[in-house]
Chains A and B, each alone.
Chain A
């Protein structure tokens, strides 16, 4: 009796909570660490990117005004869903990075733990970054951090799951929404992560994931006038400079590459604070 033929997964994009193919109809072959064919991934187009920004913008008012407790619960739920699919991610990470099952397992565990870590930040970062300001007059004066808006992320080429989670979580936990350009080399775990996000009560559009060419898409994202922030962690020096120049047009907040990319180290708060604005509210005190 012959072995059963497996049913393969079609890897598509993740935009606005749905899984469309690229409107361009383009795809590219993704290979494993040893050069073996793994799957055809969608190669997102400029139109896909614009659709993703539209979805992220549409999701922003709801997500940014959700309570911090609610956002924390949802990030924790993502960790739960990721943990539940551990075996699937271990095999995908092992294939993508050519690492042992044991090493891949550690990376998946670390990704889960990272999500749990950020989940807890949702209702604490405001206390750390905000302040009551003792102005010299009869005024109540309070500063609080608020999310920047729609953030474009060029995900790190290495660390297709742990690195990816480490750049998405700090951006969304504070109320931003995002468009992510996944690792071009190893995009498959990002789409499987999208399946996790889609089943974690995360509103559609909060995270949008595109696979394809970073060199092609990142400048479109950097020049998009409805994107407010840009995380260039995954861009090389040349691409990063080009994107930063384009980002100047509407004064996007830019997180340059070269920051800490040892994903195992304590991430600190810098990835969250890069995409926070401080709002200060004054009111007179009187009777």
Chain B
């Protein structure tokens, strides 16, 4: 017997979206000089608000405000900076529901995830780095801040990426100019209000909205001492090139094509859950997503049957419905990219499968999709799809699994499923990836350093290691 779920939508009333938003510079909302852009709800295509575009001149004003504030902020005792950050963490907790709903509306991610994953991690991140602000002398990276940090973040975890960037920067005594993604600016602008509520000194946090040009202005500004970027490897390359010959310190958290490796002795039901979390969490809009499933040949058939059964129970639809597992694709452009790559999978001979899954009429949607019979040369095994698409490959020996897992220019994350601890550690030591999840996947914590090997970028966010990106090297 199948029981239908009744709709269980989270109320939108908790959040008040303004018709238009300005830039947040020097503690105030000001007009931008560029042509404003619209941000939409990807689940309905409804326009949510009009948002200012920051031009080079606006970015310059923001950097100047940050430079001026740097003198004040870096001179504060660490314990005082800590208290501001603790305050921000508390206000985020107090307004968590409002932020979660807004995040789901602007981004398309299920409320279950924004409420239970994103927001708790955002608050925890500020709380964690608040505690470091007056303990830097014990961390081993010196205590001298860099100055003004220019930070550019992606649309997949808008507020969480903001937290990963702003919390350590401020704790170390830097001031910031942050550019949120063009398609998801709203929670960053609500965060600006939180900075006001916290009485954060003006200019310590500046938020400039806009598209790639605004980001390039932030990164390229000569008075920016530090560049932190999370996004595509393609843009990361451009940034790395643009800072050549300067003294700017750079950290880059870029793309991935993680292998999720399942051995024949793995706890299969748990592995299936881990595979689902690995690739379908946040619609697969996750740089560390387990997008390549490497399954040991002897259990491939059994595992695939079990996985398909599980995928048939996933619920796709209204991101604000508390029962929704898969929300909307963030933008039309991203949907087009996912479609193009998926079509290439079929074109190159892989076998495509999706569960029966009705897609809403409006908005951007893509059903959970699994490709089997994938070879390493297929584009869907090499390129980051950034969507709910899993490519399945098989292997026979642990050595072959390592070889295939590492056969990518990326190196952000990997997963290993086995009940044998020695094999798990053997695998973990050979996988060229910054995060290895064993018998789990897509777990995050402010105390745990995150970042890539190879073309997944450099630098770490989170943990004691995350401080290094925002302090002057001790020589």
Query: Chain A interface (Cβ within 8 Å of chain B)?
Result: 65, 128, 131, 133-137, 139, 141, 143, 146, 148-149, 228, 237, 240-242, 244-245, 247-251, 253, 256, 258-260, 268, 270, 277-284
Contact = CB atoms under 8 A, between A and B. Distances in A.
A250 B448 contact: no
Interface stretch (B17-25, B153-161, B236-244): B236-244
30 contacts: A65-B429, A133-B463, A135-B443, A139-B440, A139-B443, A141-B445, A141-B447, A143-B465, A241-B244, A241-B245, A245-B245, A248-B238, A248-B240, A250-B409, A251-B455, A251-B457, A259-B475, A278-B434, A278-B451, A279-B433, A280-B449, A280-B463, A281-B435, A281-B438, A282-B435, A282-B436, A282-B448, A283-B440, A284-B439, A284-B440
Given A244-B244, A281-B428, A283-B438, 13 more contacts: A65-B429, A131-B464, A133-B447, A133-B448, A134-B447, A245-B245, A248-B244, A249-B237, A251-B236, A277-B434, A278-B434, A279-B434, A282-B440
A248 to B, nearest CB: 4
B37 interface: no
B227 interface: no
A247 B252 CA distance: 14
A237 B475 contact: no
B437 interface: yes
Nearest to B421: A283
Contacts of A241: 244-245
A131 B440 CA distance: 20
Given A133-B448, A135-B448, A281 B436 contact: yes
A237 B455 CA distance: 25
B438 A280 contact: no
Given A241-B245, A268-B475, A137 B445 contact: yes
A248 B241 contact: yes
B453 interface: yes
A251 B449 contact: no
Interface in B408-442: 409, 424-425, 428-429, 433-440
A135 B463 CA distance: 10
Given A133-B447, A228-B454, A280 B140 contact: no
B305 interface: no
Contacts of A268: 474-475
B458 A251 contact: yes
B470 interface: no
B440 A280 contact: no
Q: Interface of chain A, helix or strand or loop or mixed?
A: mixed
A128 B439 CA distance: 27
Contact of A278 (B409, B440, B454, B465): B465
Contacts, number: 117
Contacts of B244: 241-242, 244-245, 247-248
A14 to B, nearest CB: 27
Nearest to B233: A251
A237 B245 CA distance: 7
B455 A250 contact: yes
Contacts of B247: 256, 258
Nearest to B450: A280
A75 B319 CA distance: 58
Most-contacted residue by chain B among A65, A248, A256 (CB, 10 A): A248
A279 B457 contact: no
A115 B256 CA distance: 38
A73 B59 CA distance: 54
B460 interface: yes
A282 B438 contact: yes
A166 B424 CA distance: 37
Nearest to B474: A268
Contacts of B475: 259-260, 268, 270
Interface in B220-247: 233, 236-238, 240-241, 243-245, 247
B124 interface: yes
B473 interface: yes
Given A133-B447, A133-B449, A251 B465 contact: no
Contacts of B240: 244, 247-248, 251
Contact of B454 (A133, A251, A280): A251
A268 B245 CA distance: 24
A244 B464 CA distance: 28
A284 to B, nearest CB: 5
Given A135-B448, A143-B448, A245-B244, A251 B434 contact: no
